[in-house]
Structure 1
Amino acid sequence: MIVVDAGVLIAHLSIDDVHQDAAFGILDTEEDLVIHPLTLAEALVHPARHGTELTDLAKIDSLGLMRREEPVDEPVHIARLRATSSLNLPDCAVLATAEAFGATLATFDRRLADVARARGVAVVGA
C-alpha cells in the first residue's frame, strides 16, 4: 500500500512538472494507492484557480486511489504530528495516513520524507 502526497498528484497532472515521469512511475503500480481528503483538496487548488478542478478530479479518480476515511482519533494524531514536527497540516495528514496503514509514503517533499523516515515510515520519490 502506498499513501500518495499532493506533490505526486500535482506532478502527474502537470505536463511540464519536473517530477511528472517519477509521479507516473509511482502511480503505475499494482499496489493499493491511498489518499487523504485534505491531500486531494491540496492537489485541486491550482486547477480550481483555472476552473479545471472537476476535470482534474476525474483524472485523479481514474487512478483508482482509495480515499481515506477519517477515524475518530485522527485529528488528535494530526495535531500531535503538527505540534512535534516542522510539517504543515496537509503533510501531517498524509503522514498520519501512512502511519495508520503501515504504508509507504510517496512524496517529492524532502522535509516530509525526512520526518517520515525518522518515524519509521518507508518513502518513495524523495
Structure 2
Amino acid sequence: MTGTGKTTFALHFAIANALQGRKVVYITFEEPIGQIVRSARNYNIPIDEVLGKDLEIFSWVPESKTPVHTYIKIKEIVEEFQPEALIIDSLTALKQHTDEKELAKMLRYLQLLTKERR
C-alpha cells in the first residue's frame, strides 16, 4: 500500500545499520536511486556518510524483468556485496507486476538464499 512509510522506515533501518559498520544492500522497485538519496537527505538521514561504503542501492523496474531474472539479479548482488542486511522496497511493487505463483516461488528462493547467508 502506498504512503504507509515503508520507504522511510527502510531508509532509517538501512542507514542506521550502515552507520554501525554493517554492509547493507537496498533494492528498490519503486523509486530511482536519486529519489531515495533525496528522501534520506530531506529527513536529515546521513546517507552521504555510508553510500558507496557500507550501503549500496540498486533500482530497477520489476515489470521489465521476469521473477527468475529478478531473483538471479538479487542473488548476484548478495554474492558480490555480502550484506548483513538486505532491504527490498517493496514487495508490493513486485506483487503488482508479477504472477502470484511466480512471486511465491521467487520469495521462497530468496528465503533460502538469505538463510544460507544468515
Could you say whether these structures have the same fold, taking a TM-score greater than 0.5 normalized by the shorter chain as the test? Answer: no
TM-score, structure 1 as length reference: 0.37
- TM normalised by structure 2 equals 0.39
